[in-house]
């Protein structure tokens, strides 16, 4: 079956699913494969659960007598091609966003600002990979003015694959840092891969890139692009400065040199979120959102899912940033915590994963920085931190930390909790 023919079926049944446990009525099931499952084996079950059609790529699961099972060469590729076909048919303007850190928060902020006046589709959660991007695009409808599509990667070539599906008209790279070095091979590999978004937009007519003006790595690879600059320098399209981060970020912004100054008090933790918020201001301004509505969106946005959250318990104030961690984001969180005005500070850090051969070296840099911070107490978790030179309490896993906290619970403290998601640092929260 051609993509054009499949598209006609999709127009009749415009909901797709890849999970046989979630089969909305009159949807289309795509039988994807994983390391431990074969979606083809669930195709007939999906039909009985409510799906109108099932797309498979193994002949033994097709049924010549059942025209509601569609056989293709590759289900994943077909899903991606269908999403791209749909994106082209609608012609909705797409903003592509990637970066080492902050892309999900930035995406959420951009969506919040744009939604003040536009009907916006945007990536839910972190569905930013080769499956999440096409599924998001297939949710596009005629009433959407804009789509904000987040794109993640941990190997070279992945951003290129995603931009070929989404074909963005606008783009933003939040930053580049040391993450997934195991997959990228080097920091240079990170820059090159994230830069695949720029490479696509460089070839696309009338494309525009929103760029942090003071980021040398991004500016170095931005030649030949139509740029809209934001940052701290005067005269930029949008410029601003941090006014406070104790603990919530507050900042001023203005348009150009002579624009009115806007004072924003956010619900975001950390000075490192300033660039993310300023990017949302710049994109909002570009797409015609009034300054007062930009201010309203940024003031009211509240982060979720362990991303730079402040949680007040009966005994302590917790800064929870346990969704992910890499050397760049870890150092930013520690520097921000060091600057915060608080008497009693505790740091609980878990290992940073996927750093390859540089892992111990990068963990040592974190420990060395902590040595300069004079925190009241430091707790490290994981085998990577265990291999560094330090004098702090170090535990194999978060469960061991829980046992200690139960016996000796801190009170009246600010506590920073950060680590890679696989370290399950969030488990400590309920005991603090």
Domains and CATH numbers, the chain: 3-75 (3.40.1390.10), 91-300 (3.40.1190.10), 309-431 (3.90.190.20)
CA–CA separation, 75 and 66 (whole Å): 18
CA–CA separation, 55 and 6 (whole Å): 10
pLDDT digits (tens, 9 = 90+) for 126-135: 789 999 999 9
Question: pLDDT grade, residue 77 (50/70/90)?
Answer: very high
Q: Is the pLDDT of residue 146 over 60?
A: yes
Q: Is the pLDDT of residue 307 over 70?
A: no
Average pLDDT over residues 81-97: 97
CA–CA separation, 174 and 119 (whole Å): 23
pLDDT at 117: 97
pLDDT at 418: 93
Adjacent-strand bridge partners of 252: 241, 263
pLDDT at 106: 94
Residue reference for tokens 């619970």: 409
Query: Which residue has better confidence, 306 or 219?
Result: 219
pLDDT at 177: 65
Q: Is the pLDDT of residue 306 over 60?
A: no
Alpha carbon of 267 to those of 111, 140, 245, 276: distances in Å?
Answer: 16, 30, 10, 13
Alpha carbon of 403 to those of 313, 325, 400, 406: distances in Å?
Answer: 19, 24, 5, 5
pLDDT digits (tens, 9 = 90+) for 336-349: 899 888 889 999 99
Q: Is the pLDDT of residue 11 over 90?
A: yes
With beta carbons less than 8 A apart as the criterion, state whether 211 and 203 touch: no
Q: Is the pLDDT of residue 257 over 90?
A: no
Alpha carbon of 185 to those of 135, 193, 353, 356: distances in Å?
Answer: 29, 11, 14, 8
pLDDT at 299: 97
Choose from 5-9, 266-270, 428-432 the range with maximum mean pLDDT: 5-9
Average pLDDT over residues 242-254: 91
Average pLDDT over residues 421-428: 89
pLDDT digits (tens, 9 = 90+) for 194-218: 889 999 999 999 999 999 999 998 9
With beta carbons less than 8 A apart as the criterion, state whether 292 and 389 touch: no
With beta carbons less than 8 A apart as the criterion, state whether 82 and 134 touch: yes
Question: pLDDT grade, residue 103 (50/70/90)?
Answer: confident
As a whole-number percent, the residues of the chain with pLDDT over 70 amount to 97
| Whole-structure pTM value | 0.84
pLDDT digits (tens, 9 = 90+) for 178-196: 655 566 567 777 778 888 9
Query: Which residue has better confidence, 7 or 312?
Result: 7
H or E stretch at 182: helix 181-184
| Other C-beta atoms lying within 10 Å of the C-beta of residue 43 | 27
């Amino acid at each position: 079956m051609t993509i054009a023919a499949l598209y006609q079926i999709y127009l009749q049944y415009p909901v797709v699913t890849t999970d046989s446990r979630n089969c909305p009525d009159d949807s289309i099931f795509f039988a994807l494969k994983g390391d431990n499952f074969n979606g083809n084996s669930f195709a007939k079950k999906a039909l009985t659960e409510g799906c109108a059609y099932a797309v498979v790529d193994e002949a033994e699961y097709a049924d010549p007598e059942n025209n509601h099972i569609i056989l293709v060469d590759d289900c994943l590729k077909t899903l991606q091609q269908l999403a791209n076909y749909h994106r082209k048919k609608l012609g909705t303007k797409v903003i592509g966003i990637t970066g080492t850190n902050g892309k999900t928060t930035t995406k959420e902020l951009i969506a919040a600002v744009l939604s003040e006046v536009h009907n916006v589709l945007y990536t839910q959660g972190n569905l930013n990979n080769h499956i999440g991007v096409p599924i998001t695009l297939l949710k596009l409808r005629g009433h959407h003015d804009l789509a904000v599509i987040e794109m993640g990667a941990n190997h070279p070539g992945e951003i290129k694959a995603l931009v070929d599906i989404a074909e963005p008209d606008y783009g933003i790279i939040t930053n580049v840092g040391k993450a997934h070095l195991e997959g990228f091979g080097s920091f240079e590999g990170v820059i090159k891969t994230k830069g695949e978004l720029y490479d696509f937009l460089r070839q696309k007519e009338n494309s525009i890139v929103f760029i942090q003006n003071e980021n040398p790595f991004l500016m170095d690879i931005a030649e030949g692009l139509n740029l809209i600059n934001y940052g701290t320098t005067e005269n930029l399209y949008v410029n601003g400065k941090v006014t406070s981060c104790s603990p919530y970020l507050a900042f001023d912004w203005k348009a150009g040199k002579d624009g009115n100054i806007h004072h924003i008090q956010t619900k975001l933790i950390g000075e490192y979120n300033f660039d993310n918020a300023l990017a949302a201001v710049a994109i909002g301004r570009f797409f015609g959102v009034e300054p007062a509505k930009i201010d309203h969106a940024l003031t009211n946005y509240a982060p979720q899912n362990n991303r730079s959250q402040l949680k007040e318990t009966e005994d302590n104030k917790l800064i929870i940033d346990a969704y992910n961690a890499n050397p760049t984001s870890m150092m930013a969180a520690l520097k921000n915590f060091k600057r915060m005005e608080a008497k009693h500070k505790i740091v609980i850090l878990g290992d940073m994963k996927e750093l390859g051969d540089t892992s111990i070296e990068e963990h040592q840099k974190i420990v060395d920085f902590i040595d300069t911070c004079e925190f009241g107490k430091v707790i490290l978790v994981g085998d990577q931190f265990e291999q560094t030179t330090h004098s702090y309490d170090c535990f194999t896993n978060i469960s061991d930390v829980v046992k200690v906290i139960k016996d000796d619970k801190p009170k009246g403290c600010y506590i920073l909790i950060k680590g890679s998601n696989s370290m399950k640092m969030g488990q400590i929260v309920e005991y603090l």
